[in-house]
Structure formats: C-alpha cells, structure tokens
Chains A and B, each alone.
Chain A
Amino acid sequence: MIRVTIRSLLAHKWRLVTTSIAIVLAIAFLSGTQILGGILDDSIRGLIGNVYSGYDSVVRSPDVQEAAFGEFRAPISAEAVVDSSGVEGARLAYGVVESANIQLIGKDGKVTGGGIGPPTLVMNWIDDPMRPGTLADGRGPTANDEIAIDFKGAEEQGWELGESIEIATQEGAEQYTIVGFVGLGDEANKTAGAQPVFFTDEVARSTAKLGDQYNYVAVSAKDGVSQDELASQLAEANPDLQVLTGEAFTEENQDAVAQFVGILTSVVSIFGFIALVVSTFIIYNTFSIIVAQRTRETALLRAIGARRRQVILSTLVEALIVGLVASVVGLVLGALLASALVTLLSSFFSLETGIPSIGASVIVNSLLVGLVVTTLSAIIPAIRSSRIPPIAALSEVSLDKSGMSWSRRVWGLVFLFAGIALTALGLTSTLKPELYYVGAGLLAILISVAVVLGPLLARPAAMTIAWPFGNRRGNVTAVLASENAARNPRRTAATAAALTVGVTLVSVIAVLATSVKSSVDDEIQGAFGGVDLIVSAGNFSFLGIPSEVSDSADEIDGVDIVSPVGFTFMRILDESLESESDTGAEEPAEDDVPVIGIPDDAPSGEDVVSNAIDPDTYFRIVDMGDLQGDPETLGSESLIARQSVAEDNGWDIGDTIPVYFAATGTQNLTLGLTYTDALGPGDDFYLPLETMRPNSLPGFDIDFADYIKLDNDADRDAVVAELDALVADRPDVTVQDREEFIESQTEFIDVFVNIVYALLALAVIIALIGIANTLSLSVMERTKEFGLLRAVGMSRGQLRRTIRLEAVIVAVFGTVLGIVIGIAFAAALSSALAAGEPGLVTFKLPWTQLAVIVVLAAFAGVVAAIIPARRAANMDVLAAIATD
C-alpha cells in the first residue's frame, strides 16, 4: 500500500510541487519571522551590552512618568555626581545627558531620516572609555561648537571630519563642527540604531534643557571593586535616589528592546498563521480532488482486497510526505528570507549577517506545524476516499451533489450562529481575553459561510458573476465557465474560501481605516472650523516649535488669533477618582506595566497625557461643545476636564483635584471648566499653559503647535509666506492649512494599513496559487470534455477564455464573500468601539476601494488561470478524446 502511495506521488511530481507551495510559503514566513526575531534579539542585546559596558553602576531618580509612548524618568541634580564620585569604590562618576530633542539637518536642508528614522540622541562627552561609544576617528568635542557623531549616520550623509553641519533645536538651528566619529564595540565599528551626537557637557545640558541636572549618573568602579559593592556604597551615599548595577541597567535596557522585538515578532507571526489557515483550505482541496480523481483506482484497490484503513493510510502518508518536504523547504526558505532581511536591516544598525543560526525550537516548530497542518487538512478527504465502494470501479465518475444536502445547511447555520455569538461576546468584552473570542468567532463565521454554506452559494454565485459576460444570453464560453464553476460546488467553495480569508481581513482594515479617517476628518472640520493654519513640528517630534513664533505670528498682517498648544504628562490621583469610573483606574493589574522605580510612597492614580492651551484664545477658535465654567477664571492652578469624566467622578466646577507631576509632585488644581467635545477620544483633560509650564519636565515645556485664525479679508498666501519665513531656521517646522493638517493627522493610518496589506499579501498570493492549482487539476480531469469541445469547433482562444472566466468566477466569489463578511465585521467592531467611545468611529464604507478590490480579484483570477488555460488550449485534440 505504501508502495502504491509513493508510486503515485512520483508519478505526479508536479502536483506535489504545486500542493506544497502553499505550505512552503506559510512555513517560510513563520520560520523566517522567528529566525529574524532571534537574530534581532541577539544582536540588540549584544549591542546594548556594548553600549553600557563601561557602566559599573547607575544612580538615577526613582520618579517615572509613564505615557502612551514611553517612560520619562525625572532627571537628578548635579550634586549626585559629586556624591557618587566621593564613594570609596568609585573611580569616576559621569553625569549622563541622554535626551532626544534635536534633529540633524542634512545636506539637502531637510531633517535627516525625514524625522522618523532612528532617533537622534543628545549626549555629553566625557573623556573616558566608560562613555557609551568608542571613538572611531578624530576626537571628542572640547569647544562648545564642536560635536562627535555616529559614524554610520555621517557615512550616509557624506559628512567629513571638520565639516560644519546644522542641528535644529527648540531654539532654532545652529552650526556645529564635526570633530569626531563614534561607533560601538571595541573597534568602534558598530551602530545601534540610535544616532548619538556628543556635545560638550555644557551644550548638551542646555540643549536637553536639563539646567544643572543630568538624566542619570553612571559610575565606574575602581579595580577590584565589584558592581554590587559599588552599588551598595552608592545607595548609602544617595539615599533618595535609585541605584542599580551596570549589569542590571544593561539588562533593563536589553529587556525593553527585546520585549519590543518580541511583540513585533508575534504580531508579524499572526500573518504567518493566517497564511497557514489559507493553506489548510488549499491542501484540503487538493487532496479532495486527488481522491476524487483516483476514485476508480481506489475502488479497484478495494475490490482486490485493500482495507479501508489501508486506503486512509495511503492518503495520509501522501499528505505526510508532502508536509515534510514542504516544511523542510519552507524552513530553508525562511532562513534565506531572514538573512536577506538582516542584510537589509544592517544598513540601519549592526547585525550578525551571513548564514543565520537556526534554533532547534524553530526547526521543531516549523516541521511540526507543517506536518500537522498538512495531515489534518488531508484527513477528511482520506476518510472520504475510504468510503468509495468497490463497485465505483465500474461506474462513471458521478457529479458532486454535496452542495444540496440538508445536513450541510443545518451545520452551516449552527456554525454561523456560533460564530456570531462568539464575536458578540468578544466585542461586548464580558469575556477575557476578548480577541480570542473575536478571532474564534471570525473563524467560525468564515467556516460557515465559505466552507459549509459556500457550496450552496456556489451555483447562484457562478451564474450571477458570469451574467455580465453573457451567461445564458448566447455566450457559450460564459455558460461553460459558470457551469464548470458550479459543477463541483464544494471544490469551488473551498478554493474561493482560501481567498475569502485574506479578503475578509483586507476589507475589515479598509472599512475601519476609512471610517476612522472620515471621523477624524469630520471631527477636525467640526472642531477646527475656526482654525485656518497650523504651525507644528510633526507628530513624532519632541522639539515643538519656537515659543516666540506665537508672538511674532500675531504681528503678521491678516492674522486674527494665534493660540499656542502644548502638552504634559500627569497623574490623576486615585483619591479623587470614583471607584466605578470608566477611566480605567481600576483595571485589573495585568494591564499595568509596573513602573520601575516609583517610590512606594508615591500616590497611585491614572497616568494621562493632558493638552495645554491658552484659554484666552483657544476657545474662540476651537469648538469644544458645551462649556461649563468660565474660561476667564482659569489660571496657574486650574484643570479642564471632559464633562462626562467630571460627572463620573462626581467633580463640580470649583472642586479641588489633586494631580501628580513628575517634576513637581502633587499639586492641588481647581476644576475650572468642563467641555463635551474634544478631538481625540483620549483627550479627557486640558490644562491652561499657565498651569502646565511650571509643572513640566525639563524639555517638555514646549509649544507643539500654534493654531492660527486669519482675518476674513486676509491674503492667505502672503500670511503663509510670512509664517514660513518665521520658522525658516527650523526645517522641521511646517505651516499647514486645515486640509493638510487633517492629512498629516491621518497619514499614519495609511502607513499602518499599507503595512497590514503587505503582510496579508502572502495569504492572498497563497490563495491565488490555490486557484491555479485547483484549476490545473480540474483541467486534467476534464481533458476529454475539452477535447470534444475542440473537436466540435471551439477555438483555442475560446477554450482559454472559458477557463479564465472560471477562475474569475471563483476569485470574485471568494472576494465578494470576504468583503461581505469583512463589512459585517467592521460594522460589529466599529459599533463596539462606538459603544465605548462615542464619536470615535463613524461607520463608512469605502465603496471605490471595495470595487477596486473586486476588480483586482477578477484580474488575479485571470493571472491564476494563465498556466491551466494554456495547458488546456495546447492539448492534442485526438489524444484528449481518446483519454479515459
């Protein structure tokens, strides 16, 4: 029996290849991601180890503010450097400046890396090997207009030693002379992603707005003093500060990056698993077809005495071999993929290139997943083949009638309702973790619609899709194509389902992205109706814009109102939050990342980002709905809150609300104003700039934008030109009108959507290979029929057209199913979101985009049909007729 299997496999080598491709690609993607993740993790740990290898201990502030996009630790006073260098085991204490608020201006006059490249770090030079970074060339800065910079960044920009470059800071651009190049590692030949720029201590501190403070103090030990000894001596000398060993500090940094890499790897892996699900459909389908085509052979085997078990086994062994071959090839391909990506990434930071080492776990995972998925997909076809009665050896292959059965309808509905129920449960988040329920629900709905109910839909769908091509209206190729697509409903449905998976996700993303974008558009148009121009430094900049811009802008002819806006991090203390509030303060601990180093006696509460505004001007140009309280009364100790938040917590105008700032500790603010509408759903708190500035961490006391309203008769272009001139020395600052601003606010959505599309492309490509594969097998099955058609006068072109149209029908069927399910899902998701945060998402369908997807699918069907169509058209008519 095994021999029969192997003979059959060898006799159909090509089929083996096409069947495997799906699994090969999925495994390659998965293993590639894992291998790459491993390499990144190793490399980054190595690099960070190198960066901080000179630190034996670190002394820093225990106060950490957690914000949406990272942690901000309070700086410590320069006295700590003196205190630390005084301890017995210390050789040298180094007050470190490590801050990210500058931008390098390249030779083209633009910010290097477009402002979103590797972060540029302000650091202070110390003439000792303990500093991060080894001198590769030149020397460290000694004068205040000198800098030493990362050699890799300089290489990219073509900067030479002695060259003068421009650096944008909050105060404007300044010229510095490059006197040294720095790298990592012993040979100074590595780079870590961030671009350090070393200034003199004085310039570094003023640029980072640290005053007489440092971000932290690094201490190097005397020979023979261990890190632990040094640390305990330092802890004694700095009782109010946090002390940790160099090793612990390095590990903390390594873990932070590793955690990020880990999350990235698992997120990307999700798309590998999606591809795997798609492959399941294709393998299931291929084996179903193979089994159907082998009906006579199997029946003959049964007639001469093969047991059912043997028949099942022979199919499973075939699957096992396919799975094994595919997983191995996929693994190799994944390793190649990873090493190619590493080469690509190594232009950003130093990585181990060359043949990657593959961990045993990756190998085991890949082989296991490949084998299990392939074998499981083949089980149903295998069982079906064992049910073939010996008598079938004598009969013609009958048409597939499975589309009609009642049990199919019942099961389809059961799955459908189970899926809807699971999804609903997940979305109303009464169950945790919600995403698993939503995912399982989606899968159940997909299985129901595509696999169970799909065969019922195949015929009507085929007839409808073929209609525009002249089905039943005299175009015989359309008739044949639609009939062919409808003749094996199960096969058509399973083939289409593979595509449905990818398209469902694409449509969910497309619909949600459009909905979010249109609601952002609506909101900004509505709230910012009075704002004509926005001056800002971009979404990712901590530089902000020069504070004098708002004053100067006010002078410009045609400008009516200028309103500067800033932001700050703060903690609303628990004591003022109602226990049943929905602001998330009472979320279970699992969601809270423990904040390192916050003293035990620091008051607990909810960390928020608050906008800071100028009450005199802001409310005149920005519509925040119904206001309660008087903007006039807002002063240096005022708080502004969303009305619903105030109500939930039982706050009234005039109440005192304690708020904790990293820089200044707990402050008692007075609730002076409430509003009903704000731009972002998270924008629950505002502060007057007057309140924000004194409580801000150094470097964060900035205007991140100026909102400008023009006079009715203002010459807009002239004003824009004058504003541009105002910020001419800050190439990173832009002047936008409302439309441009909206676009810049929604830009990231497009970026995100495109990345997701790119990752989903794999699943879609695998599905298309599936269509091609199924079609090839079907064409072989219909050889005799095609021969007859050719004999009675069908031209090669007509035959090709018939097969192409069949592919188009399958592709469009799968796509439309996907779009329908996708829209339903997006609707469910957005209504769930809307229940939690009204106004976050207004549901909107991107009709043109969805239409484009359908057209693309039709086109992809044509492409998938190229090889099968050519094969059918080129076959010899006589031989085809003679085929059994």
Chain B
Amino acid sequence: MAAAGAIGARKTYGEGDTAVQALDGITVNFERARFTAIMGPSGSGKSTLMHCLAGLDQLSEGRVFVGDTFLDSLSDSQLTELRRDQIGFVFQSYNLIPTLSAAENITLPMDLAGRKPDKEWVDRIVDTVHLSDRLSHRPSELSGGQQQRVAIARALASQPEIVFADEPTGNLDSRSGSEILQFMRGAVDNLGQTIVMVTHDPGAAAYAHRVVFLADGKIVHELSNPTADVVLDTMKYLGD
C-alpha cells in the first residue's frame, strides 16, 4: 500500500512558446515505511513534484494522492488540513519560525490543529535528534544542522502519513548532513515513517531504500538499495 503517489502527473508553467513542462507524465508510488530519494539535474522537476504531492501546488493534468485521499478533490482549507495532519515538510533552508522556541516549532502543526501532541512520541523524536537540551532555544540560537534537525523533528512529530524533504542537507557540512540522514533512515526503519527526499548528493541518496531519477519532468531510472558509487555511476550514465 502506497503512502502517496502520482498518476500521469503533468505540470506546465506558462503558455504557448514560453511554456515549460516541469512534470511531463509522471506516475510513481511511494511505499509505506520506505525512504525514497529523488535525484536529477537542476530544473528536472524534483521540487515541483514534491510541491504537488504535498498540496502546495496544483497539477495541470493527472492526479496525486496522499494516503487514501486524492488531492484534486480537496478545497483550499482541506488541503491546509491535510498538510497540517498528514504531511511533514522539510525545506532546504528557512524551516523554522524565528519567534518560536525549538519545542514550539516542533509541535507547531499540532498546536495549529488544536491537538495535544503525543508526549511520549515527541520525546522519543526529540531524543533521537539529540535536541533535549536545546528545546527552549530560538532558531537564531541554533546551528544550521540543529535547525534542520528541529525541522525534521517537526515533520515527524505529528506522525504524518508521509514526510517530504527538499534538499534537507543541502546547506550543511557533511558531518551534520550524515547525522540528519542517519536519523531519517532510523525514523523509517525504527518508527515506520515514510520519507521522500530530494537530493543532489549521491552520498545522501545512499541512505535511501530506493532512488528515483528525474530528467526533463520524466522518471528516467530507478535504483533499489543504492550505494553512493552506484548512484554516482548512474548519474554519469544518465548525464551522457
């Protein structure tokens, strides 16, 4: 059973001569409790796909679903609720509200829903990302890596159906990066979370169960249980 997916997804920006096909007929499933990496050259449509899957953007054609809900049937406020309750999101940067403490940022989606956070679960996540002693700090008092860990903790804290992460380690040094990646993999393996991550880094992709390669808005290749070398080779091969 897939946690989310797209069927014949097309996304066109602009019209006529200047029209850009960001997504050009993508059909893909993201299985539950799996860590999927999406790779591809710049402009290949990775972010667009994620935004459409997360209900932040609309397809021009085709359908996307999260859990057992097709997003095209939802109103704006239903989409908002879906993002809040069933989707976790991690951006490349600027993930946290500067006026809220780390703890408040983590529970933000649940607070917005007016739900009581599952304390045990939140504690467990906070422990796993090694943030217990940083909870009362503001984002400006945290390092970049710590900020991204808070963002991931937020994405996981509400036990969403699926977590989308767009280049979550793009701005980090390799040590903090691998810490994050290890943690994400752990969340999938130990907590049964579903994660889809966009990355340019073969090393990062190697943490995933599966890698999907995009080019010009199409899926051009897939790898299971990749290693960094294999990913690199595939990238070279696809690049030619």
Q: Is the CB of A476 within 8 A of B80?
A: no
Q: Which of B210-230 contact A (CB under 8 A)?
A: none
> Which of A315-323, A645-653, A784-792 lies on the face that meets chain B?
A784-792
Residues of chain B contacted by A784 (CB below 8 angstroms): 94
Residues of chain A contacted by B1 (CB below 8 angstroms): none
Known contacts A474-B111, A877-B56; A791 and B83 CB within 8 A of each other: yes
A-B contacts, 6 listed (Cβ < 8 Å): A399-B140, A476-B108, A476-B111, A790-B80, A878-B56, A881-B56
Known contacts A476-B108, A791-B56, A791-B83; A483 and B99 CB within 8 A of each other: yes
With an 8 A cutoff between CB atoms, is A796 at the interface?
A: yes
Q: Is the CB of A796 within 8 A of B77?
A: yes
CB distance from A395 to the nearest CB of B (A): 12
With an 8 A cutoff between CB atoms, is B84 at the interface?
A: yes
From the candidates A487, A791, A798, name the one contacting B99 in the complex (CB within 8 A).
A487
CA separation between A487 and B85, bound complex, in Å?
29
Q: Is the CB of A792 within 8 A of B100?
A: no
Most buried by B among A474, A793, A877: A793
Most buried by A among B97, B109, B112, B116: B97
Closest to A477 in B: B112
Residues of chain A contacted by B83 (CB below 8 angstroms): 791-793
Known contacts A791-B56, A878-B56; A798 and B112 CB within 8 A of each other: yes
From the candidates A487, A794, A877, A881, name the one contacting B112 in the complex (CB within 8 A).
A794
A866-883 vs B: 1/0 string, CB under 8 Å? 000000000001100100
CA separation between A103 and B114, bound complex, in Å?
70
Residues of chain A contacted by B54 (CB below 8 angstroms): 791
With an 8 A cutoff between CB atoms, is A484 at the interface?
A: yes
A450-464 vs B: 1/0 string, CB under 8 Å? 000000000000000
Residues of chain B contacted by A474 (CB below 8 angstroms): 111, 114, 116
Q: Is the CB of B99 within 8 A of A878?
A: no
With an 8 A cutoff between CB atoms, is B104 at the interface?
A: yes
Closest to A798 in B: B112
With an 8 A cutoff between CB atoms, is A795 at the interface?
A: yes
Q: Is the CB of A795 within 8 A of B80?
A: yes
B99-118 vs A: 1/0 string, CB under 8 Å? 11000100011011110100
CA separation between A600 and B95, bound complex, in Å?
89
Q: Which of B48-100 contact A (CB under 8 A)?
A: 51, 54, 56-57, 76-77, 80-81, 83-85, 89, 91, 94-100
Total cross-chain contacts (CB, 8 A): 72
CA separation between A435 and B39, bound complex, in Å?
76
Residues of chain B contacted by A399 (CB below 8 angstroms): 98, 140
A25-43 vs B: 1/0 string, CB under 8 Å? 0000000000000000000
CA separation between A480 and B111, bound complex, in Å?
11
With an 8 A cutoff between CB atoms, is B154 at the interface?
A: yes
CB distance from A282 to the nearest CB of B (A): 24
Q: Is the CB of A792 within 8 A of B98?
A: no
Q: Is the CB of B84 within 8 A of A793?
A: yes
Residues of chain B contacted by A793 (CB below 8 angstroms): 80-81, 83-85, 109, 112-113
CB distance from A856 to the nearest CB of B (A): 28
CB distance from A880 to the nearest CB of B (A): 10
With an 8 A cutoff between CB atoms, is A179 at the interface?
A: no
From the candidates B57, B97, B104, name the one contacting A785 in the complex (CB within 8 A).
B97
Residues of chain B contacted by A785 (CB below 8 angstroms): 97-98
CB distance from B44 to the nearest CB of A (A): 18
Residues of chain B contacted by A792 (CB below 8 angstroms): 83-84, 89, 108-109, 112, 154
A70-105 vs B: 1/0 string, CB under 8 Å? 000000000000000000000000000000000000
CA separation between A789 and B140, bound complex, in Å?
17
Residues of chain B contacted by A788 (CB below 8 angstroms): 91, 94-97
With an 8 A cutoff between CB atoms, is A479 at the interface?
A: yes
Beyond known contacts A475-B111, A790-B80: 10 more, CB 8 A cutoff: A480-B100, A785-B97, A791-B91, A792-B84, A792-B109, A793-B83, A793-B85, A795-B80, A881-B56, A881-B91
Residues of chain B contacted by A790 (CB below 8 angstroms): 80
CA separation between A794 and B99, bound complex, in Å?
16
CA separation between A479 and B112, bound complex, in Å?
11
CA separation between A486 and B98, bound complex, in Å?
12
Residues of chain A contacted by B99 (CB below 8 angstroms): 480, 483-484, 486-487
Q: Is the CB of B100 within 8 A of A479?
A: yes
CB distance from B223 to the nearest CB of A (A): 29
Residues of chain A contacted by B116 (CB below 8 angstroms): 474
Closest to A396 in B: B140
Most buried by B among A476, A480, A784: A476
CB distance from A637 to the nearest CB of B (A): 82
CA separation between A789 and B108, bound complex, in Å?
9
Known contacts A789-B97, A881-B91; A796 and B76 CB within 8 A of each other: yes
Q: Is the CB of A476 within 8 A of B112?
A: yes
Closest to B84 in A: A793
B16-60 vs A: 1/0 string, CB under 8 Å? 000000000000000000000000000000000001001011000
Most buried by B among A785, A794, A796: A794
CA separation between A798 and B84, bound complex, in Å?
13
CA separation between A789 and B89, bound complex, in Å?
11
CA separation between A785 and B139, bound complex, in Å?
13
Closest to B99 in A: A483
Residues of chain B contacted by A486 (CB below 8 angstroms): 99
CB distance from B45 to the nearest CB of A (A): 14
Residues of chain A contacted by B114 (CB below 8 angstroms): 474
Residues of chain A contacted by B111 (CB below 8 angstroms): 474-476, 479
Q: Is the CB of B100 within 8 A of A483?
A: yes
Residues of chain B contacted by A798 (CB below 8 angstroms): 112
